[in-house]
Amino acid sequence: MAANARCGHASDRWGFNRLGGGTIGGLTVAEYRLIQDGQPVAKVDGPDDQARREIVHYAFVYLKDGPVLIETKNASGRWAIFTPDREGYTR
């Protein structure tokens, strides 16, 4: 796992509010989680670029066991479906 993209609760480590995101040292901080069979199976938070890469990596790993869904916490603190094409994800 990347050094700055850690599992756990983002607000405990990064010091931003639980309403989804913020900035730390000029970096955008985000939370992502992976859903499989209706249950969260992985969660990543940290600088957005690193966290996004990490959750996509987890998605490829968990795809071996079945379909997955990536969600991101939006500005209102609710989880919303993350769509890489719409969000501008690039490798």
Write out pLDDT tens, residues 32-71.
999 999 999 999 999 988 999 999 999 999 999 999 999 9
What per-residue confidence (pLDDT) applies to 24? 63
What per-residue confidence (pLDDT) applies to 83? 79
- Write out the residue range of the structural domain in which residue 78 sits: 10-86
Q: What is the mean pLDDT of the chain?
A: 77
Token readout for 34 is 């992976």
Query: In 3-state terms, what secondary structure has residue 28?
Result: strand
Q: Is 91 within a domain?
A: no
What is the secondary structure of 18-30 as a DSSP string? TTS-EEETTEEEE
What per-residue confidence (pLDDT) applies to 56? 92
Q: Is 2 within a domain?
A: no
Q: pTM for this one?
A: 0.68
Q: Is 3 within a domain?
A: no
Q: Is 42 within a domain?
A: yes
The total domain count for the chain is: 1
Q: Is 57 within a domain?
A: yes
Q: Is 4 within a domain?
A: no
Q: How far apart are CA 12 and CA 36, in angstroms?
A: 25
